[in-house]
A and B are shown apart, each in its own frame.
Chain A
């Protein structure tokens, strides 16, 4: 009875969500700093989660929501991992100041040279 109406609403909302995703994608490509891009990736992930929930209701199967749960968790972990990687240039390092080892000194030296060039 209300299924046709709701389907129209879902499809319209999904299309509008995709417009929002396109806007975020512009910021992802244009973002001047790394942090803008990390923010855009995180926001894009949230929209994908919403999109998956909507999509699984449109096709009437519960499987999409499982993927949405996973995506919500992975999105958070990915954001933190990206930030950690760009701060320490290694994923295995603890969240602490850079250790004063010869390897990292060389790495820092090389990065400074690259930046000054």
Chain B
């Protein structure tokens, strides 16, 4: 497909290397997708680490499973062209898409049934300056406990 395009434009006389443009476009698109997917994965991992109780951590983990995984897999699919690898990567994406919400629901339901109480109401992270001592008196008034 790319070769046809290249011939079509070269006959006009404009010497644009369409193959290279297409390659670099695909490479940039897929690397953008992969890196944004990795960003979501890292944000999800950070959320799992930071959130106050189990039921809120669950949401952060779900973020990794949806956009993080799908973005990375679609970024990889852009690079494989159309081959067996593409179909297999699509299968991986499909299975993750199906199983991750079910697994999250299973864990949440088990936690609820075992009597774990979700922490409700507004929560704010404790201010670092309050924990480490009073290094920063100026903004200690906006730090709300929970």
Q: What DSSP secondary structure best describes chain B's contact surface? A: helix
Give Cα distance in the complex from A46 to B143, angstroms: 35
Interface flag for A26 (CB, 8 Å): yes
Partner of B107 from the list A19, A21, A66, A79 (CB cut-off 8 Å) is A79
Q: What DSSP secondary structure best describes chain A's contact surface? A: helix
Partner of B95 from the list A54, A62, A73 (CB cut-off 8 Å) is A73
Partner of A46 from the list B30, B84, B96 (CB cut-off 8 Å) is B96
Assess whether B45 is in contact with A23, with CB atoms less than 8 Å apart. yes
Residue picked from B42, B54, B58, B103, most chain A C-beta under 10 Å: B103
Q: Which residues of B contact A (CB under 8 A)?
A: 20, 23-24, 26-27, 30-31, 34-35, 37-38, 41-42, 44-46, 48-49, 54, 57-58, 61, 64-65, 68-69, 72-73, 76, 79-80, 83-85, 88-89, 91-92, 95-96, 99-100, 102-104, 106-107, 110-111, 113-114, 116
Q: Which residues of A contact B (CB under 8 A)?
A: 1-2, 5-6, 9-10, 12-13, 16-17, 19-21, 23-24, 26-27, 33, 35-36, 38-40, 42-43, 46-47, 49-50, 53-54, 56-57, 62, 65-66, 68-69, 72-73, 75-76, 79-80, 83, 86-87
Can you spell out 13 A-B residue pairs with CB atoms less than 8 angstroms apart?
Answer: A10-B34, A13-B34, A23-B48, A35-B110, A36-B54, A38-B110, A39-B57, A42-B103, A46-B65, A49-B69, A50-B68, A66-B88, A83-B106
